[in-house]
Amino acid sequence: MRKYLIIPALLLAAVCCAPKDNVESRVESALAQMTLDEKIAIIHAQSKFSSPGVPRLGIPELWCDDGPHGVRPETLWDKWAAAGHTNDSCTAYPSLTCLAASWDRDLARLYGRSVGEEARYRGKNVLLGPGVNICRTPLCGRNFEYMGEDPYLAGQLSARYIQGVQSNNVAACVKHFALNNQENHRLTANVNVDDRTLYEIYLPAFKAAVQEGGAWSVMSAYNKYDRVFASHNSRLLKDILKDEWGFDGAVISDWGAAHDTDGCANGGLDLEYGSYTDGEARTAPAAYDQYYMAQPYKAKILSGELPESELNDKAARALRLNFRTMADGYHGSFLSPEHTADCRMIGGEGIVLLRNEGVLPLKKDAAKIVVLGENAIRPMVVGGSSSSLKAQHEVSPLQGIRNAFPDAEVIYERAYYSGEPTPGDYNYSLYDITETRPADKLLADALTAIEGADYVVFIGGLNKNKGQDCEGRDRSSYGLPYGQDEVIAAIAAVRPDMVYVNISGSPVAMPFADKVGAIVQAWYLGSETGNALADVLTGDVNPSGKLPFTFPVALEDGPVKTERQYPGYMDEDGIWQVHYDEGIYVGYRWYDTEGIKPLFPFGYGLSYTSFEYGKARLSSKKMGQRLTVKVPVTNTGKVAGAEVVQLYIQDVEASVDRPVKELKGFEKVWLEPGETKTVSISFGRDALSFFDALNHCWVAEPGQFKALVGASSEDIRAELEFSL
């Protein structure tokens, strides 16, 4: 049985929150005693990552940290540059795509609690994460920080991650609200999306984060919606977030996402960060006092142009965030052996086995193993921009394989060269990854090295440089960079049993998929990358991850096809416009409905064992308040493992266009060889509903439905009919 601590939800809720009445009484008392200047001070930054408290009232500063995969190093007061401390190296956790691929709610709580402990130890009030923006196109440079293409899966795991973080009195800050689904033109793009698509695809994960996870803060996005910047957008921040969902926390601007005083004051923003914070470039005295929600806001209140009531609400939310995150004598923990173990386990649970022609697991008595590919040695916890980390250690894939095979000859050859240095963050490097050999020599040396090898393992994919998996710019293509396709094909022609390990946070093209013996999707796995990967390659961990997004064969197979959809265009008013013309048909919803077969479907993942689904049953043929699907699952193989049972709902005949099916439930079950367990998944009328934009409500139409039980979106094992 997997060994990690499961905290019951009720206990976790008790740990997470200071008594609400106590917090509210403190907010009310403090607000009543504060001057106008003090209220203004606490709603904007005083440094790159902090805002002031109220010293006169004993209220401390509020400190943020750029998560969500680990606690970033300290920066200089008003610069992005690291401060150069020697005690701020962290545990680097796997990317959130890896967590999403685990399909494991308990593991998401563990992840959040573990990283939250490190944030608490470092004195952080707010961890800037998780990110839950939907994977609309594989080209989005920031997909690796998010939780896939499905709003239900993203919402379920982000809610548990948030609960775990906040159990340490550290606020999670769910981001980027909303519609930040591309990095190209993200600062200015105006997103055009219909209300039904907005509510069914792009809002549910945020709603779950707020209502189920209880998030204490939300970060507004850079982009525009309805021609209004998200940080100023009263429909997003007031009407939906605060009024419809009852969010009582603070909305924090993404760094530099505020644009004018009236928009900030009236649009629902509560804390302004990052507005021209480069103190070296801006020479005006007291630069932070010139923030849009600083002295300019105060002047408009004094002149009567803006009401003080809005300021009072913002100040109350800032105070509430501060009081919720006071340490109260709890100091967290940092760089503990438990955190290292958590990191390794999360990585192993999220790795997805995509193909296996009997090659894996690798046998421990191998005499010669050849490891190929630049990603076997390339540091990956650095790069990616805002999620770049200063890790205490990072076990490379090559070292992890060497650790797992101490008696074998493990030979390394690069096989291809990116020509790109590792990002120079924090002067951190495991290896000198420069190369002088030309491409043909690299391939020739690799082909020579594999002669007589028991196993050949090629570790390639993307990296976290600009133009790949990185903030600020989208990927330049769907294919693998640096000529990897040709190199892999050449090696597979000699060794068709080659194991290909793909490191990426997004789907990639794999024209060689049917020419290799095994394919492993390994993500960015953090400090314990090599050990987590070796655990799966050797079978010490039976892979149980499932894809959180679809891998199309080619980019043009997907729903985003036109320039108007992506990357957009400049209109006659000089505004960059992006149109979500595909509507609700994102990811598997598109492929299912259009009948297009992907390379690997959503929810797909293999195991070293096999699972048999027994006869599925519904608690009733008619929907009342809730229905329950029960299905016995048996491990029919020879090794223990976990299976993710997925529940999709199909509306047989609807008055509006609906996808063939939509994910509405899942459970991960651990089984010993020969063991059978009955998996139960309950769902209510909300699982049957679509959003009626005209009447602004959710509608579950009377009629026939099907509950589809499967091992992936393509692999449906049972269809159960019921009516509403």
Q: Which CATH code, of 3.40.50.1700, 3.40.50.2300, 3.30.2270.10, 3.40.50.300, is assigned to 351-541?
A: 3.40.50.1700
Please give the residue that has the higher pLDDT: either 138 or 435: 138
Q: pLDDT class for 424, splitting at 50, 70, 90?
A: low
Q: Which residue has the tokens 């043929």?
A: 621
CB distance 617 to 722 below 8 Å: no
According to CATH, the topology of domain 609-723 is Immunoglobulin-like (2.60.40)
Query: What is the mean predicted confidence (pLDDT) over 174-195?
Result: 97
CA dist., res. 600 & res. 593, Å (int): 16
Q: Residue 286 — very low, low, confident or very high, per pLDDT cuts 50/70/90?
A: confident
What residues act catalytically?
254
pLDDT tens readout for residues 610-644: 999 999 999 999 999 999 999 999 999 999 999 99
pLDDT at 6 over 90: no
pLDDT of 195: 98
| pLDDT tens string 490-503 | 999 999 999 999 99
* Tens digits of residue pLDDT in 297-344: 999 999 999 999 999 999 999 999 999 999 778 899 999 999 999 999
pTM exceeds 0.85 for this model: yes
Q: Please say whether the beta carbons of 629 and 705 come within 8 A.
A: no
Task: Work out the average pLDDT over 273-290.
Answer: 70
Phi first, then psi, for residue 10 (nearest 5°) are: -65, -40
pLDDT digits (tens, 9 = 90+) for 456-499: 999 999 999 999 999 999 999 999 999 999 999 999 999 999 99
For tokens 């040396």, name the residue.
Answer: 445
Instruction: State mean pLDDT over 661-669.
Output: 98
Q: What pLDDT is stored for residue 384 in this prediction?
A: 85
529 vs 464: CA distance, rounded Å = 15
Strands (E), 388-532: 409-413, 455-461, 499-503, 518-521
pLDDT at 284: 57
Q: What mean pLDDT comes out for the span 409-433?
A: 76
CATH number of the 32-324 domain: 3.20.20.300
Give the DSSP H or E segment for 312.
helix 308-324
Q: Which sign, positive or negative, has the C-alpha torsion 149, 350, 708, 663?
A: negative
Q: How many CB atoms lie within 10 A of CB 248?
A: 17
Mean pLDDT, the chain, rounded, equals: 94
- Residue in this structure with the two tokens 């096809």, named with its chain if needed: 561
With 90 as the cut, is the pLDDT of residue 16 above it? Answer: no
Length of the chain, in residues: 724
The Cα–Cα gap between 564 and 475 comes to 18
Domain boundaries, the chain: 32-324, 351-541, 609-723
Which tens digit of pLDDT belongs to each residue from 33-57? 999 999 999 999 999 999 999 999 9
Q: What is the CA radius of gyration of the chain?
A: 25
More confident residue, 640 or 12: 640
Mean predicted confidence (pLDDT) in 362-385:
94
Give pLDDT, residue 78.
85
Q: Report residue 285's pLDDT band, with 50, 70 and 90 as the boundaries.
A: low
Q: Residue 277 has what pLDDT? A: 54
- In sequence order, the β-bridge partners of residue 272 are 44
CB-count burial class (<10 Å; 0-12, 13-18, 19+) for 431: middle
Task: Specify the pLDDT at position 554.
Answer: 97
What's residue 356's pLDDT? 98
Q: What is the pLDDT of residues 101-136, one digit of tens each?
A: 999 999 999 999 999 999 999 999 999 999 999 999
What pLDDT score was predicted for residue 222? 97
Per residue in 571-610, pLDDT (tens digit) is: 999 999 999 999 999 999 999 999 999 999 999 999 999 9
pLDDT given for residue 432 in this prediction: 67
Q: What is the pLDDT of residue 459?
A: 98
Q: What would the mean pLDDT of 196-203 be, rounded to a whole number?
A: 98
The answer to whether the CB of 470 falls within 8 A of the CB of 524 is no
| Residue 623 confidence (pLDDT) | 93
- Tell me what the mean pLDDT of segment 346-367 comes to: 97
Please compute the mean of the pLDDT values over residues 440-447 and round it to a whole number: 98
User: Which of the residue ranges 230-244, 282-296, 535-549 would you say has the lowest mean pLDDT?
Assistant: 282-296
